Structure 1
Amino acid sequence: MLTKTVFLSALASALLILMPWVLGAQVSGYDATRFISELGALDMPNRSMANGAFFLIGAFWMGTTEAVRKGLEPAPMDPWIRFGVIAFAASYIGSVIFPCDYQCPVGGSFNQTVHNTLIWVLYAGAFVAAVRMPLPGRVGLGRTLKVLTVVCFMSMQLAAWERDWWPGIWQRAYEACFVVLWWLWLNNLYSRKEAE
């Protein structure tokens, strides 16, 4: 079960971190300062590729979470972590169903309104999961990453209103912190399980 969990975690992590860079490199005028969801915006070229990638990111994070849960049996998985990661994954799938308008404005169409509310609430799941992940007491990196995750998430919220604050940079940093915390937590989880 550990091999499957590590493989799925590696695949989900790679998709989350690399796909926005790969897709963004193919769109003229797009850069890392813009939101990732802009790649799937209604008037964006390569929208279908972005939507396929968003669906895969969501599906693999859901599958990874389920693999971890099953690997922990008979012990339960922390429900805040489980549902936080599932909500985060659902935000990527939801952005396919409710894509943002071009340049993801604060206001706009019905899709944009849903995107700015429901999808953002789900996207906060990684924030909740990251804060809840128990790490060994000696892991200063874990504590620092938790604080950075909070700072990046809050900065991203502010940057959503003030576009000059590079919302895409904060978003990518938020996701990178989450991925590193996930791996630290997974390592801690399986180290404890092997010690039993």
Structure 2
Amino acid sequence: MTRTRLLSLGGAALVGAAVLSLAGGLAHPVVDGRAHSVDALLAPGSPWGQLSIYAGALLLMFGLPAAYAWLAPRVGVLGFLGFSGYFLGNAVSAQAHLVVEALVAPEIARRAPELIPDDEAIVAAEPFALIQVVGGLVLVIGLIVLGVALVRQPGPCAGRGCSRSSAGWRPSSRSRRRRSSPACRSSCSAASPSRCSAWC
């Protein structure tokens, strides 16, 4: 498995995740403005809409590692921490939510509808609500940290003897003798091979 093939498969997984999630969101029953009521959970589109979203979430988990493999040279340690937080938050909150909503809640609504709360919490269980809140916070904080890492990313050859011009990245006047260094070539190739390979 080459890196290029891995990135391609990861990209396909992310596209599939988007399509399934969108289709599931459109098919997800909403009755009287409520998506997690007894009537919604027992509507004809349930649990197929929820299962489609869940399948999309599973594909997302397959695609995210490839996305990080592409991002890694650009975001550094801070980006790794942010991405890890997002990945963990998604796995803990979104996956747990979808499993319960698609596979558990419809059966509860069918056999014991009085156990479905009126506050859209799907099931009246404090641990479930807590994991949703904590997982959601970790997910959001992870995305913020990852965004900061992307904003702060240096040029592809920062610190390795390259500078940027309108034509792309090229060796700086003080570092031309180091333009063929393996470090510079490696960094440029990872970040922008079409513009850097000729200069570094």
Output the TM-score relative to the length of structure 2. Answer: 0.48
Larger helix fraction of residues: 1
